[in-house]
Copies of this chain bind each other. A is one copy, B any other.
Amino acid sequence: MQKHPEHQAPVGAGVAAVLRDDTGAIAETFVEAVRAAIAAADSDALRAMCADRHEADIADLLEMLSQEERPRFIELLGHDFDFAVLTEVDDTIREQVLESLPSAAVAEGVRELDSDDAVYILEDLDDEEQAEILAQMPAFERALLKRSLDYPEDSAGRRMQTDLIAVPPFWTVGRTIDYMREADDLPDEFYEIIVVDPAFKPIGRVALSRLLRAKRPVPIERIMDTTIHTVRADMDQEEAAQLFERYNLVSAAVVDESDRLVGVLTFDDIVDVIQEEAEEDIRGLAGVGDEEISDSVLYTARSRFPWLLINLGTALVAASVIGLFDASIEKMVALAVLMPVVASMGGNAGTQAMTVTVRALATGDLGGYNRRRVFLREMLVGILNGIVFAIFIGIVAAVWFADPQLGGVIAMAMVFNLFCAGLFGFAIPVILDRIGADPAIASSVFLTTVTDVVGFFAFLGLATVLLL
């Protein structure tokens, strides 16, 4: 996912050259022109419109085409199709496209890519397809890609770039620069060189801006920065992203289990990881799976089904709590009118506490010291807002149904439910995190069950005991 500067010059003229409209989306006129060229199998027209565009632009265009048009588009462009485009499209589209292309074409396209992009494309294929494509590559490239693919999913090893510049500390600035001028398998762009010892262990880094400003005879060890942040290849990409964020890194050396340099992670991969992880939290909290905006109706409905099913279960649990008090409701129908208010306030207050906790866990801000303080804070916030809203709802209920005692009961239920909301809003994600589950995904279900059940039980129970 490096930039390809040589692919950036805009070409063509007239309508077809306007790729994006004012909102930044791909212009419909452009899509229609491309569609027409595909339908006419006019590969010259397609080349004129698309050959020198940036991969991100072609990726957005590809997403606008139909499933049948996409492989035809790629075949018509031929060698002018940059496979890096496939790293920028939705997962579903990438998989469909790769399945519909001949494996020889994929192998050839992938060979041209930086190693991290190649791995990104290969990793989602099934083993058989992967083996078929790898078999068509030269042995050295194949070995490097295989090593990356052997690291666990979502690990730094999968995201790293294996083409890199590593030099010994005794080299001079001049020799390093000459070496870079001659090397031919370098990534498109890089930002620092890594200094290694004879065992190929990283011992320092030199930012290119520093290298450029040093005189040629100066030895590298005189200008290198020895405090380097290395990443283990089997480290989870989220952990690596935290390191990049904390220290504002542009790139970091990746090492294997014996601390030997095996690759480099760069900020652009990490930007994608940060996006993905934040996205995962948002989706998890809302009960949306890994669906993408380009997915079909059926796929989307199916991916949202499990969460709704679980919610149906918890809603029925809450309903059966209400069922326990049907006699009370029959006697006093105001209870039925007011009970959703208690449950809803608990659900919202709990979601606030839970969201803050989930994000603090994700960004590593809940170390032992902070955890106790935040736990206490959430419970106190629950009680405090509980008291304030108890007064509000107490007055509203007392006036609405001309029944001060009903006001008192709903006020008590409100304080209790908002306290529980704070308590469980904090505790549920922390406990899920401890036992190794993803707090973003599972917390909401447990929480709304608790706030509904507690809300209905406290309000209807207190009313039954005190009013009837």
A residues contacting B by CB (< 8 A) are 1-3, 5-6, 8-10, 21, 23-26, 28, 31, 54, 56, 64, 177, 180-181, 186, 189-191, 207-215, 225-227, 239, 242, 244-250, 267-268, 270-271, 274-275, 278-279, 281-283, 285-288, 291, 293, 296-298, 300-301, 304-305, 307-309, 311-312, 315-316, 318-320, 322-323, 326, 329-330, 333-334, 336-341, 343-345, 348-349, 351-352, 354-356, 359-360, 364-370, 374, 377, 380-381, 384-385, 388-389, 392-393, 396, 448, 452
Whether the pair A25, B369 counts as a contact (CB closer than 8 A) is yes
* A370 interface neighbour in B293, B305, B355, Cβ under 8 Å: B293
Closest chain B residue to A351 by CB distance? Answer: B286
The 9 closest A-B pairs by CB, nearest first: A25-B367, A278-B278, A8-B227, A286-B355, A336-B336, A208-B208, A5-B225, A248-B268, A315-B341
Which residues of chain B come closer than 8 Å to A343, judged between CB atoms?
A: 340
A32 to chain B, nearest CB (A): 10
Q: Which of A54, A250, A279 has the most CB of B within 10 A?
A: A250
Whether the pair B340, A315 counts as a contact (CB closer than 8 A) is yes
A187 to chain B, nearest CB (A): 8
Whether the pair B64, A369 counts as a contact (CB closer than 8 A) is yes
A158 to chain B, nearest CB (A): 17
Q: Once bound together, how far apart are the Cα atoms of A308 and B451, in whole Å?
A: 15
Q: With contacts A250-B191, A293-B370, A300-B377 known, is A312 near B24, CB below 8 A?
A: no
Whether the pair A340, B369 counts as a contact (CB closer than 8 A) is no
Whether the pair A271, B268 counts as a contact (CB closer than 8 A) is no
Copies of this chain present in the complex amount to: 2
Whether the pair B348, A21 counts as a contact (CB closer than 8 A) is no
Q: Once bound together, how far apart are the Cα atoms of A338 and B305, in whole Å?
A: 20
A83 to chain B, nearest CB (A): 15
A309 to chain B, nearest CB (A): 8
Q: Once bound together, how far apart are the Cα atoms of A249 and B54, in whole Å?
A: 12
Closest chain B residue to A214 by CB distance? Answer: B181
Q: Once bound together, how far apart are the Cα atoms of A214 and B360, in whole Å?
A: 46
Known: A248-B268, A285-B355, A311-B348. 9 other contacts (CB 8 A): A1-B248, A25-B370, A191-B191, A271-B271, A278-B279, A286-B355, A293-B366, A307-B352, A312-B389
Q: With contacts A215-B181, A333-B329 known, is A352 near B271, CB below 8 A?
A: no
* A279 interface neighbour in B207, B359, B389, B392, Cβ under 8 Å: B359
Whether the pair A24, B300 counts as a contact (CB closer than 8 A) is no
Whether the pair B250, A267 counts as a contact (CB closer than 8 A) is yes
Whether the pair B248, A288 counts as a contact (CB closer than 8 A) is no
Whether the pair A293, B360 counts as a contact (CB closer than 8 A) is yes
A4 to chain B, nearest CB (A): 10
Whether the pair A316, B304 counts as a contact (CB closer than 8 A) is no
Q: Once bound together, how far apart are the Cα atoms of A23 and B365, in whole Å?
A: 10
A6 to chain B, nearest CB (A): 8
Q: Once bound together, how far apart are the Cα atoms of A281 and B275, in whole Å?
A: 12
Whether the pair B337, A323 counts as a contact (CB closer than 8 A) is yes
Q: Once bound together, how far apart are the Cα atoms of A339 and B381, in whole Å?
A: 30
Which residues of chain B come closer than 8 Å to A381, judged between CB atoms?
A: 297, 300-301, 304
Q: With contacts A285-B282, A287-B352 known, is A56 near B247, CB below 8 A?
A: yes
Q: Which of A214, A316, A338 has the most CB of B within 10 A?
A: A316
Q: With contacts A297-B381, A337-B322, A341-B315 known, is A249 near B3, CB below 8 A?
A: yes
Q: Once bound together, how far apart are the Cα atoms of A365 and B56, in whole Å?
A: 13
Which residues of chain B come closer than 8 Å to A384, judged between CB atoms?
A: 297-298, 301
